[in-house]
Amino acid sequence: MTDIHSPFTLGRIELQNRFVMAPMTRARANDDGTPGPLAAEYYGQRASVGLIITEGTQPSDDGQGYPMTPGIYTDAHVAGWREVNDSIHAQGGHVFYQLMHAGRMSHPDNTPHHRQGVAPSAIAPGEQIYTLDGMKDIPVPRALTTDEVEATVKDYAYAARRAIESGADGVEIHGVAYLVHQFLAISSNKRTDRYGGSIENRARFAIAVAQAIIAEIGADRTGIRLSPGFTGMGLDVGPEGPDLFRYLVAELDKLGLAYIHIVHYGEDNILHDFRRIWHQAIILNRPARPREDIGKDIASGLADLESYGAHVLANPDFIERVVLHAPLNTADHRVFFGNQPEGAAAGYTDFPTLKASRKGVQA
Ligand SMILES: Cc1cc2nc3c(=O)[nH]c(=O)nc-3n(C[C@H](O)[C@H](O)[C@H](O)COP(=O)(O)O)c2cc1C
Whether 290 is in the pocket of ligand 1, judged by its Cβ within 6 Å, is no
Q: Which protein residue's CA is at the shortest distance from atom 4 of ligand 1?
A: 24
Does ligand 1 lie within 6 Å of residue 98's CB atom? yes
How much distance in Å is there from the Cα of 227 to the middle of ligand 1?
12
**Ligand 1 atom closest to 333 (CA):** 1
Question: CA Rg, the chain, in Å?
Answer: 19
CA of residue 218 to ligand 1 center, whole Å: 26
Judge if the beta carbon of residue 315 lies within 6 A of ligand 1: no
Q: Is the dihedral of CA 119, 122, 123, 127 positive or negative?
A: positive
Global confidence as pTM: 0.98
Rounded to the nearest 5 degrees, what angle is found at the Cα of 350, between the Cα atoms of 346 and 354?
150
Span from the CA of 310 to the centroid of ligand 1 (angstroms): 7
User: Is the C-beta atom of 56 inside 6 A of ligand 1?
Assistant: yes
Measuring from atom 10 of ligand 1, which residue has the nearest CA? Answer: 23
At residue 363, the pLDDT reads 43
| Residue 283 beta carbon below 6 angstroms from any ligand 1 atom | no
* Spatial distance between the Cα atoms of 121 and 115, rounded to a whole number of angstroms: 16
Q: Is the Cβ atom of 263 under 6 angstroms away from ligand 1?
A: yes
HSE-up (13 A, CA, CB side) for residue 303: 26
Q: How far apart are CA 115 and CA 363, in angstroms?
A: 42
Q: Which pLDDT score, from 0 to 100, does residue 359 have?
A: 77
* CATH class held by domain 8-362: alpha beta
Closest Cα to atom 30 of ligand 1: 24
Measured CA to CA, the distance from residue 55 to residue 43 in angstroms comes to: 10
User: Cα–Cα distance between 136 and 156 in angstroms, integer?
Assistant: 28
| Backbone φ and ψ of 208, nearest 5° | -65, -40
Strands 134-137 and 128-131: antiparallel
Question: Which residue from 82, 98, 89, 224 is spatially nearest to 165, judged by alpha carbons?
Answer: 82
What's the confidence (pLDDT) of residue 6? 98
- Evaluate whether 38 touches 316 at the Cβ level (below 8 Å): no
The active-site residue out of 178, 195, 259, 308 is: 178
CA of 220 to the centre of ligand 1 (A): 24
Numbers of helices and strands, H then E, in the chain = 11, 14
The residues, any chain, with a CB within 8 Å of residue 333's CB and separated by 6 or more, are: none
The best mutation among 20, 25, 172 to test binding of ligand 1, ranked by most ligand atoms within 8 Å of the C-beta, falls on: 25
User: What does each of the 363 residues of the chain score in pLDDT, given as a tens digit?
Assistant: 999 999 999 999 999 999 999 999 999 999 999 999 999 999 999 999 999 999 999 999 999 999 999 999 999 999 999 999 999 999 999 999 999 999 999 999 999 999 999 999 999 999 999 999 999 999 999 999 999 999 999 999 999 999 999 999 999 999 999 999 999 999 999 999 999 999 999 999 999 999 999 999 999 999 999 999 999 999 999 999 999 999 999 999 999 999 999 999 999 999 999 999 999 999 999 999 999 999 999 999 999 999 999 999 999 999 999 999 999 999 989 999 997 889 999 999 999 999 988 876 544
Nearest atom in ligand 1 to 263's CA: 19
CA contacts within 13 A on the Cβ side of 157? 20
Question: How far is CA 203 from each of CA 36, 45, 175, rounded to the nearest angstrom?
Answer: 35, 37, 11
Amino acid letter, 65: G
Q: From the CA of 149, how far away is ligand 1's center (Å)?
A: 27
Beta strands in 72-166 (DSSP E): 95-99, 118-119, 128-131, 134-137, 142-143
Nearest protein Cα to ligand 1, atom 6 = 24
CA 347 to chain centre: 20
Say how many Å lie between the CA of residue 23 and the centre of ligand 1: 6
Backbone angles phi, psi at 119, to 5 degrees: -160, 170
Backbone angles phi, psi at 41, to 5 degrees: -70, -45
Report which of 126, 183, 171 is spatially closest to residue 10, judged by C-alpha positions. Answer: 171
Cα–Cα distance measured from residue 44 to residue 208, given in angstroms and rounded to the nearest whole number: 33
Nearest CA to ligand 1 atom 21: 309
Q: Is 178 a catalytic site residue?
A: yes
Give CA angle at 29 (23, 31), nearest 5°.
Answer: 145
Ligand 1 near 70 CB (within 6 A): no
Q: How many Å separate Cα 145 from the centre of its chain? A: 26
Question: For position 315, what pLDDT does the model report?
Answer: 98
DSSP state of 329: P
Nearest CA to ligand 1 atom 5: 24
How far out from the chain centre does Cα 321 lie? 24
Distance in Å from the first CA to the final CA of the chain: 35
Q: Are 328 and 314 in contact (CB under 8 A)?
A: yes
Q: What's the 175 CA to ligand 1 centre distance in angstroms?
A: 13
Whether 151 and 101 have beta carbons less than 8 Å apart is answered as no
Can you list the alpha helix ranges (DSSP code H) found in 1-60?
Answer: 39-45
Determine the residue type at 361.
V
CB 168 within 8 A of CB 159: no
Q: Which residues contact residue 296 at a Cβ distance below 8 angstroms, ignoring those fewer than 6 apart?
A: none
Q: Where are the domains of the chain?
A: 8-362
Nearest C-alpha to atom 11 of ligand 1 is from which residue?
A: 23
